[in-house]
Amino acid sequence: MTDKKKTKARKKRRKLTPITKFFCIIMIGVSCYLLYKVAMEVRTTMSLTKQLAEVKEKLQEVQDENTHLNNEKEKLQNPDYVANYARGNYMLSKDGEQIFYLPENDNK
């Protein structure tokens, strides 16, 4: 009879009580919710990392442009550079100078 009692006790232990089933369902639900939240955080982090890379690239472009403009500003402080720039780009001349415009030859 002891074997029957042991078997009966094992079966009894294997059966889940309603309260145990309830807690298991709650734990599964909480686990699913937490996994969902982690997945959303990973997605947000990846999106922000991509945006950060784009902004850094844009910042580098703006810094390069700023450096170029500062160099141009320094050059424009020099009167000789301004005179040569105006003469070369805007066909301005000094008194008594003649300007000859030679069109570029596109024939190959």
pLDDT at 97 over 70: yes
Lowest mean pLDDT among 29-33, 55-59, 104-108: 104-108
Q: For position 108, what pLDDT does the model report? A: 56
**What's at 72, amino acid-wise?**
E
105 part of a folded domain: no
Name the region of 91 (left: φ>0; alpha: ψ -120 to 50; beta: rest): left
Residue 47 located in a structural domain: yes
Percent of the chain at pLDDT exceeding 90: 52
Is there a domain that residue 65 lies in? Answer: yes
Domain count, the chain: 1
How many CA atoms are closer than 13 Å to the CA of 10, on its beta-carbon side? 6
* Model pTM above 0.85: no
pLDDT at 33 over 90: yes
Report the C-alpha gap between 41 and 38 in whole angstroms. 5
Q: Which domain holds residue 63?
A: 16-90
First to last CA, the chain: 112
Q: CA–CA separation, 81 vs 50, rounded Å?
A: 43
> What pLDDT is stored for residue 15 in this prediction?
72
Look at residue 91 and tell me whether its pLDDT is greater than 80.
no
- Tell me what pLDDT residue 12 has: 66
